[in-house]
Structure 1
Amino acid sequence: MSTSTDAETKHEQNVRVWMDGCYDMVHFGHANACRQAKQMGAYLIVGVHSDEEITKHKGPPVFTEQERYKMVRAIKWVDQVVENAPYVTTLETLEEYDCAFCVHGDDITVTADGVDTYHIVKAAGRYRECKRTQGVSTTDLVGRMLLVTKTHHEPDDMLPDAENTRRMSLCKESVSPWTGASQFLATTNKIIQFSNAREPKPGDKVIYTAGAFDLFHVGHVDFLRKVKALGDYLIVGLHGDRIVNRYKGSNHPIMNIHERVLSVLACRYVDEVVIAAPYSVSMDLVNHFKVSLVIHGQTTYEPDVDGNDPYDVPKTLGIFQRVDSENPMTTQDIITRIIGNRLEYEKRNKKKEAKEAAAYEAFQKLKAENRNESTAVNIEQK
């Protein structure tokens, strides 16, 4: 079996690479897998499973298949999306799309019957691995949304230990033997990997828009696509966690500033991100980035803490414009989907955890057997 645990595999010219998955609630972990897969070849094709297939093998997805197809197409490392891809990856699929091999993370994905979905391509030596991004998963994000609290990233000192344990277990995929109990830790290297590393060229029309962009979704994608069409270089300002919580309240943001930065940077329409951008667009910001146009969506926005309009400066300069994404989805809509189906998603999470534990136990047993066989052979040779 040909595998590679090093995501930085040397780029292979003219090689077409296959990757597939559910891509439910597409987040920066999915994007990072695509980034690594793209480095292994020249052209990345991503197969996305249908709602029917996901429901059969894992439980109901949060996003519809059409929403998931659009989200994956927006990831800047993806060259082509194949809709309704089979849940078990076959050699026929690789041949149909002229792909040399399939790439997946260094965990295991199983069918409803507990069968490794990549067993066929592994046996044929046409499988490679990339490193899974620790500290984030769809299970984790669903868990965070099930908590109506501001403390989904850390324990609450006002709650009993047992309740904190229950809450933290909901918002972390801590029982996963493949990823371990790991919170996402941002690094400068990860941001560099996601960045376009491109400055605006002389004469480029620079567009600026800002917001929370929490739980990056298809509404955000449609909005940024329309905004980018108005200029040449798109800068997205991401408000810090405290600012977002001030104007959204409850347990917002669901994703912290570092997670939101990577999610937005992975979008093909975005050129640059301002981390913890000021709520009000100042003259200094406009001059610093040489902004030609400041955009806000059709949603309402709150005054700044001083009571002033955060877009007063660009309005005065005549460079403020509102854009309708023509997509009504909001972050709250996603949360509502989760809360409305709370029991179903909790059941899904538990089912996934049980399957992972069983698969991991079988994997460890096989490793031990192989190790014992190798030891026996070495003794005989001696």
Structure 2
Amino acid sequence: MAANGTKTRKRIWVDGCFDMVHFGHANLIRQAKELGDYLIVGVHSDEEITKHKGPPVFNQAERYEMVRAIKWVDEVVEGAPYSTTIETLDEYNCDFGVHGDDISVLADGSDAYKIIKDAGRYREVQRTQGVSTTDVVGRMLLLTKTHHKREDPTAHSPWTGVSQFLATTQKIIQFSSGKQPNPGDKIVYVAGAFDCFHLGHLRFLEKASTFGDYVIVGLHTDCEINRYCGSNYPIMNLHERVLSVLACKYVHEVVIGAPYVVSSEMMDHFKVDMVVHGNSQIFADEKGNDPYEEPKKRGMFVLVNSSSNLTTPDIVERIIEHRQRYIKRNEKKEAKEMANYELLRKGNSVNGHSVE
């Protein structure tokens, strides 16, 4: 409480690379926001990430913009230091810093959060099992029919060598806004894959949101996406894509496994006022028909330019082009974590962590 009797707003600090921003990052941010009233997210520069972990896939400008669009974020600090200090917390008037329960180490192997831990200004939340940037990059390097599953029998780090993500209704509820459209709200509907949610998706949704008050995103099934994209897409399965889209501040509702054809029944059911599509190609349905025939007939269809031509295949191309560099990065990160994990298994405490 403040001296005048009013409640003091608790300010929280979270920092990270947030490379290939995924629902695991969003869940860290969501949990951190629950610990206070105002959340500041520090995002590391490309130079800092390359020094401590290896080259990022998304550049810093892309990562700054992506993090700003996560609905629990109040403020973003660009170029935040990799090691969190008391000076950083004090500069932004934050009560404490928050990180997941995985190990975060600097280039020299020391704990990135040791300083604020020792000062009692550190809080820990549960890491999201089943996803990591290392894993997503690995899927793109693999890009097979089974890339959603980790079938390698060799030992993996418990933090980045992850198993398949298991969706639960509780997780969807946590990510959902729970908001219903108000009477008179204009309903906007968009549909697609939204695979490996990226800047192109974000800017499209931001543009689509200007056409109404309430945005519904229809997410196609994995089988449907593979039909029109081929090449063993999608990278992320349906449940993973649901959470990634729900974390975006421009989205109010998601239709899980939406029909590919936007039918009269669908438009009437959701009381859709406008259907919006972006830069991506519109593929015909299985019968060779236009999936947007009905909204076009009603005069409720619009094409928009999202101002970003970035696509999921473009991201895959970035990784494939520098394949050896990213393989080396993944191996280096996992080896460092496995070394710490082995110490934990032997009963030693590493950076405040232990294995029960």
State if a TM-score over 0.5 links the two structures: yes
* Corresponding residue to 1:85 among 77, 80, 83: 80
What is residue 183 of structure 1 aligned with on the other side? 164
Matches within 5 A, 1:131-146: 131-146=126-141
Shift of 1:306: 1.0
Unmatched segments (≥5 aa) in structure 1: 1-11, 156-163, 371-382
What is residue 46 of structure 1 aligned with on the other side? 41
Q: What is the rounded CA distance, in whole Å, between the counterparts of 1:312 and 1:92 in structure 2?
A: 58
Which structure shows the bigger proportion of residues in helix conformation?
Answer: 1
Shift of 1:312: 0.3
Shift of 1:153: 2.2
1:257 matches 2:252: no
TM-score, normalised via structure 2 length: 0.93
Shift of 1:148: 3.4
* Corresponding residue to 1:94 among 64, 76, 89: 89
Change (3 A) 1:28 1:154: closer
Give aligned-pair identity as a percent.
Answer: 65
What is residue 59 of structure 1 aligned with on the other side? 54
Unmatched segments (≥5 aa) in structure 2: 1-6
Q: What is the rounded CA distance, in whole Å, between the counterparts of 1:228 and 1:260 in structure 2?
A: 19
Q: What is the rounded CA distance, in whole Å, between the counterparts of 2:241 and 2:69 in structure 1?
A: 15
Q: What is the rounded CA distance, in whole Å, between the counterparts of 1:181 and 1:300 in structure 2?
A: 33
1:236 matches 2:188: no
1:366 matches 2:348: yes
Q: What is the rounded CA distance, in whole Å, between the counterparts of 2:277 and 2:76 in structure 1?
A: 30
What is residue 3 of structure 1 aligned with on the other side? none
Query: Could you say what secondary structure the match of 1:24 adopts?
Result: coil
Q: What is the rounded CA distance, in whole Å, between the counterparts of 1:360 and 1:331 in structure 2?
A: 33
Shift of 1:359: 2.4
Q: What is the rounded CA distance, in whole Å, between the counterparts of 1:328 and 1:226 in structure 2?
A: 14
Matches within 5 A, 1:93-172: 93-154=88-149, 165=152
Aligned 8 A contact 2:209 2:250 in 1: yes
Q: What is the rounded CA distance, in whole Å, between the counterparts of 1:289 and 1:261 in structure 2?
A: 18
Shift of 1:136: 0.3
Q: What does the per-residue CA deviation read over 1:236-261, in whole Å, with 9 as the maximum and x for residues that have no partner?
A: 00000000000000120000000000
What is residue 290 of structure 1 aligned with on the other side? 271
What is residue 329 of structure 2 aligned with on the other side? 348
Aligned 8 A contact 2:160 2:334 in 1: no
Q: What is the rounded CA distance, in whole Å, between the counterparts of 1:13 and 1:92 in structure 2?
A: 21
Aligned 8 A contact 1:13 1:42 in 2: no
What is residue 289 of structure 2 aligned with on the other side? 308
1:218 matches 2:199: yes
Amino acid at match of 2:99: H
Shift of 1:229: 1.3
Shift of 1:178: 4.0
Query: Could you say what secondary structure the match of 1:264 adopts?
Result: helix
Amino acid at match of 1:352: K
Q: What does the per-residue CA deviation read over 1:186-241, in whole Å, with 9 as the maximum and x for residues that have no partner?
A: 00010000000011000000000000000000111111001101110000000000
Aligned 8 A contact 2:135 2:162 in 1: no
Give the paired residue count. Answer: 344
Change (3 A) 1:17 1:154: closer
Q: What is the rounded CA distance, in whole Å, between the counterparts of 2:296 and 2:226 in structure 1?
A: 25
* Corresponding residue to 2:302 among 321, 324, 348: 321
Aligned 8 A contact 1:236 1:272 in 2: yes
Q: What is the rounded CA distance, in whole Å, between the counterparts of 1:180 and 1:63 in structure 2?
A: 21
What is residue 9 of structure 2 aligned with on the other side? 14
What is residue 206 of structure 1 aligned with on the other side? 187
What is residue 247 of structure 2 aligned with on the other side? 266
Query: Could you say what secondary structure the match of 2:40 adopts?
Result: strand
Q: What does the per-residue CA deviation read over 1:75-114, in whole Å, with 9 as the maximum and x for residues that have no partner?
A: 0000000000000000000000000000000011001110
* Higher-Rg member (1/2): 1
Shift of 1:150: 1.9
Amino acid at match of 1:338: I
Q: What does the per-residue CA deviation read over 1:347-382, in whole Å, with 9 as the maximum and x for residues that have no partner?
A: 0001001111222334454349x9xxxxxxxxxxxx
Aligned 8 A contact 1:134 1:179 in 2: no
Aligned 8 A contact 2:132 2:160 in 1: no
Q: What is the rounded CA distance, in whole Å, between the counterparts of 2:342 and 2:224 in structure 1?
A: 44
Q: What does the per-residue CA deviation read over 1:102-157, in whole Å, with 9 as the maximum and x for residues that have no partner?
A: 000001100111011000000001000010000000000001101132221248xx
